[in-house]
Structure 1
Amino acid sequence: MDAKTLGDFIAGRRRELGLTQAQLAARLHLTDKAVSRWERGVGLPDLATLEPLAAALEVNLAELMTARRQPRPLPEAEEAAAQTLALARQSRSAGQRTLWWACAACLELFGAVAVFLVWVLAVSGPVAAASVASLLLGLGA
């Protein structure tokens, strides 16, 4: 999807409906700056925004994604666009789950190191306290 072509389509359709950028943004619960970026071709709408944007512009997903009006509705194209969005959402949520597990593993490792250091302090007494303190300060930096 070419950002400039899509931006021109969004701007043209918005004007046909007699909406300002702020009004369109309000319908989408976004800022008018986001709509402005799309219309200038500087950025693209987020996947989660495509369906509400199509509804706000009174076009179907296929028209929005191809950035042109269709003389007659194409149910196959609409279904393909909806399936593409669904797959993209699944892929995104899978990536987020992977990131969550990676963060959880790092926290577990940090916890294990902290328990080990507390054990070293308990066993070694004050002699090791300075070493552990310097290690913790180094990790903190």
Structure 2
Amino acid sequence: MKVLILCTGNSCRSQMAHGFLQSFNPELTVCSAGTEASGKLNQQAVAAMKEIGLDISHHTSDSVEKYLNDEWDYVITVCGGANESCPAFTGKVKHRLHIGFDDPSHAVGTDEFIWSEFIRVRDEIKERFWKFYTEEVKPQL
């Protein structure tokens, strides 16, 4: 099964979702991409995942263009805020889903508050992608 996770910058939320989904089942083909890929990972997202034992530091921030010619079982957008537009995927895909999250990289305030936002969003991503995996993916395997 092939799953592509999309957001705008492909540096934070999509990377965490990618890490979780791959950890639930290493047999899945999971990729992530962005419509305006930043080319680098958000280091606080990497640290938040490392804190719970998942290493995403080897991931790359890729443009969605890289995956347009592939076929996907699922394409999932993870953009969240009302000011943020979700990317559209024009490639071949069986199921399109939206599972939205706030972008912790836009949090402002103290270092402690910003870190707490990364942890909150990380935990939300884990919970919602576990639900997706157990309810949508696992029954098809």
Please say which structure displays the higher CA radius of gyration.
Answer: 1
**Greater strand content:** 2
Superposition TM-score, scaled by structure 1 size:
0.30
**Greater helix content:** 1
Question: 1 or 2 for the larger relative contact order (CA 8 Å, sep ≥6)?
Answer: 2
